[in-house]
């Protein structure tokens, strides 16, 4: 199932994360009065509860502690559970809008749920937190919610894989790719990492590739909940949903 894990990584990452930069997310920020990274951290990490910023940073993985602490504590007036509920609503509203004409939402949601339900929470605390959130009844909202849940699974396991491959979080950011930002230093700067940055050597790039492969291997057990026809169907439906959202 490693091949399936690799095949769905991109579509799940984009489908499960696009709501964070949507018009619905901007409305959430305006409604709460939160700015900068604060609405993102209080919303996405609110499932962890009212914890110290160190706990949030441990789950965020690729952000410097200073960025996390400043953003998390700046939103202390918005209870973590409330922020998580509101962030989930952002994802649901995004799904209803962007997948309005996607007729196969119910089937895709069912397949994603099989993956999410069959996965282990070890090493992926945000996955565990988001999987415990109530699912919306609307099929289109449920697709985005569950894509986000599976995205959080890969995100948590990717942190494990990065560390196991001998990379620091900063090296992973510098050598990795972003769906919405330029690669490398601009991404690191956006996340708040202070300069100067270490050189991205061939060894660092090799380790990054190793981490991606290890992430696929760690993700593979979640897809054993699917048989071969279901796995192929999941890939096809994710690609269709992605086209519906982004075209």
Give the dihedral of Cα atoms 57, 60, 62, 63; nearest 10 deg: -50
Residues 199-210 pLDDT 10s: 999 999 999 999
- How many angstroms separate the first and last alpha carbons of the chain? 29
Residues 34-85 pLDDT 10s: 999 999 999 999 999 999 999 999 999 999 999 999 999 999 999 999 999 9
Using the predicted structure, report yes or no on whether residue 165 has a pLDDT greater than 80: yes
| Size of the chain, expressed as the number of residues it contains | 247
* pLDDT confidence tier of residue 179, bands split at 50, 70 and 90: very low
Predicted confidence at residue 1, as pLDDT, reads 86
Predicted confidence at residue 176, as pLDDT, reads 84
Comparing C-alpha atoms, which of 39, 15, 17, 16 is closest to residue 26? 39
Using the predicted structure, report yes or no on whether residue 169 has a pLDDT greater than 90: yes
Predicted confidence at residue 182, as pLDDT, reads 55
- Tokens 């962030």 correspond to 87
Predicted confidence at residue 244, as pLDDT, reads 97
Would you say 238 and 108 are in contact if contact means Cβ atoms under 8 Å apart?
yes
Would you say 7 and 235 are in contact if contact means Cβ atoms under 8 Å apart?
yes
* Residues with Cβ within 8 Å of residue 6, at least 6 apart in sequence: 216
Q: What is the mean pLDDT of residues 174-191?
A: 78
Backbone angles phi, psi at 183, to 5 degrees: -70, 160
Greatest alpha-carbon pair distance for the chain in Å reads 49
Structure tokens at 226: 């699917």
Using the predicted structure, report yes or no on whether residue 14 has a pLDDT greater than 60: yes
| Cα distance between residue 22 and residue 236, in whole Å | 24
Residues 114-139 pLDDT 10s: 999 999 999 999 999 999 999 999 99
Residues 91-120 pLDDT 10s: 999 999 999 999 999 999 999 999 999 999
Backbone angles phi, psi at 124, to 5 degrees: -140, 70
Structure tokens at 84: 């998580």
Comparing C-alpha atoms, which of 80, 83, 68, 69 is closest to residue 29? 83
- Tokens 């959202």 correspond to 245
| Cα distance between residue 138 and residue 102, in whole Å | 12
| Cα distance between residue 197 and residue 26, in whole Å | 31
Predicted confidence at residue 184, as pLDDT, reads 87
pTM score: 0.96
Backbone angles phi, psi at 120, to 5 degrees: -90, 140
Using the predicted structure, report yes or no on whether residue 180 has a pLDDT greater than 60: no
């Amino acid at each position: 199932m490693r091949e399936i894990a690799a095949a769905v990584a991109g579509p799940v990452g984009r489908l499960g994360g696009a709501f964070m930069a949507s018009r619905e997310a901007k409305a959430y920020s305006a409604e709460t009065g939160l700015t900068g990274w604060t609405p993102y951290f209080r919303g996405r990490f609110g499932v962890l509860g009212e914890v110290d910023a160190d706990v949030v940073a441990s789950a965020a993985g690729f952000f410097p502690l200073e960025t996390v602490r400043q953003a998390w504590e700046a939103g202390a007036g918005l209870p973590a559970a409330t922020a998580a509920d509101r962030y989930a609503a952002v994802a649901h509203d995004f799904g209803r809008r962007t997948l309005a004409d996607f007729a196969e939402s119910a089937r895709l949601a069912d397949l994603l749920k099989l993956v999410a339900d069959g996965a282990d929470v070890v090493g992926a605390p945000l996955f565990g937190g988001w999987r415990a959130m109530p699912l919306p009844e609307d099929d289109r909202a449920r697709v985005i919610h569950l894509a986000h849940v599976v995205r959080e699974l890969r995100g948590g396991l990717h942190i494990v894989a990065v560390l196991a491959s001998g990379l620091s979080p900063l090296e992973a950011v510098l050598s990795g790719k972003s769906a919405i930002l330029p690669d490398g230093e601009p991404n690191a700067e956006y996340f708040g990492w202070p300069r100067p940055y270490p050189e991205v050597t061939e060894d660092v790039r090799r380790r990054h590739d190793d981490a991606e492969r290890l992430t696929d291997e760690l993700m593979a057990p979640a897809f054993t909940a699917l048989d071969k026809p279901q796995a192929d169907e999941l890939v096809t439906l994710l690609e269709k949903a992605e086209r519906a959202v982004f075209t």
